[in-house]
Amino acid sequence: MKAKFKPQRVLWLDMEMTGLDPVEDFPIEVAMIVTDWEFTEIARFEGAAHWCSEKIQARFDKNKSFWYGDGAAAREQLIAQNKATKTTKAQLERDILVFLDEHFDDAPILLAGNSIHQDRRFIDHWFKKFSKRLHYRMLDVSAWKVVFEGKYGKKFAKPEDHRALEDIRGSIMELKYYLKKVKPWPINNLKNLSWVCLVCG
Protein backbone atom coordinates (compact mmCIF):
# COMPACT_ATOMS: atom_id res chain seq x y z
CA MET A 1 0.00 0.00 0.00
CA LYS A 2 1.36 3.42 -0.98
CA ALA A 3 2.08 5.96 1.74
CA LYS A 4 -0.24 8.97 1.70
CA PHE A 5 1.16 12.00 -0.04
CA LYS A 6 0.24 15.10 1.97
CA PRO A 7 2.80 17.82 1.27
CA GLN A 8 2.72 20.83 3.56
CA ARG A 9 4.40 23.07 1.01
CA VAL A 10 4.29 23.54 -2.75
CA LEU A 11 7.28 24.18 -5.02
CA TRP A 12 6.20 26.44 -7.85
CA LEU A 13 8.61 26.47 -10.78
CA ASP A 14 9.03 28.03 -14.17
CA MET A 15 11.87 27.75 -16.63
CA GLU A 16 12.66 29.85 -19.64
CA MET A 17 13.96 27.53 -22.31
CA THR A 18 15.13 28.18 -25.86
CA GLY A 19 12.37 25.87 -27.10
CA LEU A 20 10.27 22.84 -26.18
CA ASP A 21 12.70 20.00 -26.99
CA PRO A 22 14.36 18.92 -23.72
CA VAL A 23 17.27 17.32 -25.58
CA GLU A 24 18.04 20.00 -28.18
CA ASP A 25 16.96 23.12 -26.27
CA PHE A 26 18.50 24.70 -23.18
CA PRO A 27 17.05 25.75 -19.80
CA ILE A 28 18.46 29.26 -19.54
CA GLU A 29 16.55 30.61 -16.54
CA VAL A 30 15.02 28.91 -13.49
CA ALA A 31 12.79 30.46 -10.86
CA MET A 32 11.04 28.83 -7.91
CA ILE A 33 8.64 29.99 -5.23
CA VAL A 34 7.79 27.99 -2.12
CA THR A 35 4.26 28.46 -0.79
CA ASP A 36 1.89 26.95 1.74
CA TRP A 37 -1.65 25.91 0.78
CA GLU A 38 -2.86 29.48 1.19
CA PHE A 39 -0.34 30.20 -1.58
CA THR A 40 1.53 32.61 0.63
CA GLU A 41 5.07 33.13 -0.63
CA ILE A 42 7.58 31.66 1.83
CA ALA A 43 10.77 31.81 -0.20
CA ARG A 44 11.92 32.36 -3.76
CA PHE A 45 14.84 31.39 -5.95
CA GLU A 46 16.17 32.78 -9.20
CA GLY A 47 19.05 31.35 -11.16
CA ALA A 48 20.51 31.08 -14.62
CA ALA A 49 23.16 28.94 -16.28
CA HIS A 50 25.63 30.07 -18.90
CA TRP A 51 25.47 28.33 -22.27
CA CYS A 52 27.44 28.79 -25.47
CA SER A 53 26.09 31.97 -27.04
CA GLU A 54 26.19 30.52 -30.54
CA LYS A 55 24.17 27.48 -29.49
CA ILE A 56 21.62 29.64 -27.70
CA GLN A 57 21.24 31.87 -30.74
CA ALA A 58 20.85 28.85 -33.03
CA ARG A 59 17.97 27.54 -30.90
CA PHE A 60 16.32 30.97 -30.80
CA ASP A 61 16.54 31.03 -34.60
CA LYS A 62 15.13 27.51 -34.79
CA ASN A 63 12.12 28.63 -32.73
CA LYS A 64 11.88 32.08 -34.31
CA SER A 65 8.07 32.08 -34.63
CA PHE A 66 7.95 32.75 -30.89
CA TRP A 67 11.31 34.36 -30.07
CA TYR A 68 11.07 36.93 -32.87
CA GLY A 69 7.39 37.56 -32.19
CA ASP A 70 5.77 37.75 -28.74
CA GLY A 71 9.00 36.67 -27.05
CA ALA A 72 11.29 39.23 -28.71
CA ALA A 73 11.77 41.45 -25.65
CA ALA A 74 12.38 38.46 -23.38
CA ARG A 75 14.87 37.04 -25.91
CA GLU A 76 17.04 40.14 -25.72
CA GLN A 77 16.94 40.10 -21.92
CA LEU A 78 17.84 36.40 -21.79
CA ILE A 79 20.72 36.83 -24.26
CA ALA A 80 22.15 39.65 -22.10
CA GLN A 81 21.70 37.55 -18.96
CA ASN A 82 23.42 34.57 -20.56
CA LYS A 83 26.43 36.72 -21.47
CA ALA A 84 26.63 38.15 -17.95
CA THR A 85 26.33 34.96 -15.91
CA LYS A 86 29.28 32.67 -15.23
CA THR A 87 27.23 30.00 -13.45
CA THR A 88 27.54 26.54 -14.96
CA LYS A 89 24.64 24.10 -15.20
CA ALA A 90 26.25 21.96 -12.49
CA GLN A 91 26.58 24.93 -10.13
CA LEU A 92 22.99 25.97 -10.82
CA GLU A 93 21.77 22.52 -9.86
CA ARG A 94 23.83 22.64 -6.66
CA ASP A 95 22.26 26.00 -5.82
CA ILE A 96 18.80 24.54 -6.46
CA LEU A 97 19.50 21.60 -4.14
CA VAL A 98 20.69 23.93 -1.38
CA PHE A 99 17.47 25.91 -1.73
CA LEU A 100 15.39 22.72 -1.50
CA ASP A 101 17.27 21.59 1.62
CA GLU A 102 16.48 24.91 3.28
CA HIS A 103 12.74 24.68 2.72
CA PHE A 104 11.79 21.00 2.40
CA ASP A 105 12.44 17.79 4.31
CA ASP A 106 13.47 14.52 2.68
CA ALA A 107 9.95 13.67 1.48
CA PRO A 108 9.23 13.94 -2.26
CA ILE A 109 8.34 17.49 -3.29
CA LEU A 110 5.15 18.58 -5.04
CA LEU A 111 6.03 20.55 -8.18
CA ALA A 112 3.52 23.13 -9.44
CA GLY A 113 3.14 25.50 -12.36
CA ASN A 114 1.51 26.06 -15.73
CA SER A 115 2.03 23.15 -18.15
CA ILE A 116 4.50 21.97 -15.52
CA HIS A 117 4.99 18.63 -17.27
CA GLN A 118 7.03 20.52 -19.89
CA ASP A 119 9.37 21.99 -17.28
CA ARG A 120 9.58 18.54 -15.67
CA ARG A 121 10.87 17.08 -18.95
CA PHE A 122 13.75 19.57 -18.86
CA ILE A 123 14.42 18.86 -15.17
CA ASP A 124 14.53 15.13 -15.86
CA HIS A 125 17.00 15.62 -18.71
CA TRP A 126 19.27 18.41 -17.43
CA PHE A 127 18.99 18.30 -13.62
CA LYS A 128 18.84 14.64 -12.62
CA LYS A 129 19.63 15.16 -8.92
CA PHE A 130 16.89 17.75 -8.72
CA SER A 131 14.53 15.36 -10.50
CA LYS A 132 15.06 12.72 -7.81
CA ARG A 133 13.72 15.11 -5.15
CA LEU A 134 10.34 15.46 -6.87
CA HIS A 135 7.14 13.47 -6.42
CA TYR A 136 5.58 11.96 -9.52
CA ARG A 137 2.39 13.93 -8.85
CA MET A 138 2.31 17.55 -9.99
CA LEU A 139 -0.06 20.48 -9.60
CA ASP A 140 -0.71 21.73 -13.13
CA VAL A 141 -2.68 24.97 -13.31
CA SER A 142 -3.26 24.44 -17.01
CA ALA A 143 -5.58 21.52 -16.18
CA TRP A 144 -7.81 23.96 -14.27
CA LYS A 145 -7.61 26.31 -17.25
CA VAL A 146 -8.88 23.63 -19.64
CA VAL A 147 -11.84 22.73 -17.40
CA PHE A 148 -12.92 26.27 -16.57
CA GLU A 149 -12.61 27.57 -20.11
CA GLY A 150 -14.14 24.49 -21.75
CA LYS A 151 -16.96 23.73 -19.31
CA TYR A 152 -17.77 27.08 -17.72
CA GLY A 153 -16.47 29.68 -20.16
CA LYS A 154 -14.34 31.27 -17.42
CA LYS A 155 -11.00 32.63 -18.59
CA PHE A 156 -8.18 34.17 -16.60
CA ALA A 157 -6.20 36.94 -18.28
CA LYS A 158 -2.74 35.75 -17.28
CA PRO A 159 0.08 38.25 -17.88
CA GLU A 160 2.69 36.84 -20.26
CA ASP A 161 6.05 38.23 -19.20
CA HIS A 162 8.09 35.29 -20.49
CA ARG A 163 10.42 35.65 -17.52
CA ALA A 164 10.44 32.84 -15.02
CA LEU A 165 9.67 34.51 -11.67
CA GLU A 166 6.82 36.66 -12.93
CA ASP A 167 5.37 33.71 -14.85
CA ILE A 168 5.20 31.76 -11.58
CA ARG A 169 3.39 34.60 -9.83
CA GLY A 170 0.98 34.71 -12.74
CA SER A 171 0.31 30.99 -12.33
CA ILE A 172 -0.39 31.39 -8.60
CA MET A 173 -2.77 34.27 -9.36
CA GLU A 174 -4.49 32.12 -11.96
CA LEU A 175 -5.07 29.21 -9.57
CA LYS A 176 -6.43 31.61 -6.94
CA TYR A 177 -8.85 32.93 -9.57
CA TYR A 178 -10.21 29.44 -10.23
CA LEU A 179 -10.43 28.57 -6.55
CA LYS A 180 -12.49 31.70 -5.88
CA LYS A 181 -15.02 30.30 -8.34
CA VAL A 182 -15.40 27.19 -6.18
CA LYS A 183 -17.48 27.57 -3.02
CA PRO A 184 -18.11 24.99 -0.26
CA TRP A 185 -21.77 24.08 0.12
CA PRO A 186 -22.79 22.24 3.33
CA ILE A 187 -25.06 19.23 3.08
CA ASN A 188 -26.42 17.49 6.16
CA ASN A 189 -25.63 13.84 5.75
CA LEU A 190 -27.01 12.16 8.86
CA LYS A 191 -24.03 12.10 11.19
CA ASN A 192 -21.50 14.09 9.22
CA LEU A 193 -21.40 17.42 7.45
CA SER A 194 -20.06 16.84 3.97
CA TRP A 195 -19.18 19.37 1.30
CA VAL A 196 -19.67 19.71 -2.39
CA CYS A 197 -18.19 22.34 -4.67
CA LEU A 198 -20.22 24.53 -6.95
CA VAL A 199 -18.83 26.67 -9.72
CA CYS A 200 -20.23 30.14 -9.26
CA GLY A 201 -20.71 32.88 -11.80
Catalytic residue among 136, 152, 177, 178: 136
> How far apart, in whole angstroms, are the C-alpha atoms of residue 130 and residue 96?
7
From 136, 128, 16, 139, select the one nearest 81 (Cα to Cα): 16
Neighbour tally for 13: CB within 10 Å: 26
Query: Alpha-carbon distance 28 to 16, whole Å?
Result: 6
136 catalytic, yes or no? Answer: yes
CB 118 within 8 A of CB 20: yes
Residue type, 95: D
* CA nearest to 104, candidates 33, 201, 8, 5: 8
> Can you say how many angstroms the Cα of residue 72 is from the centroid of all Cα atoms in its chain?
21
3-class secondary structure, 11: strand
Give the active site residues: 136
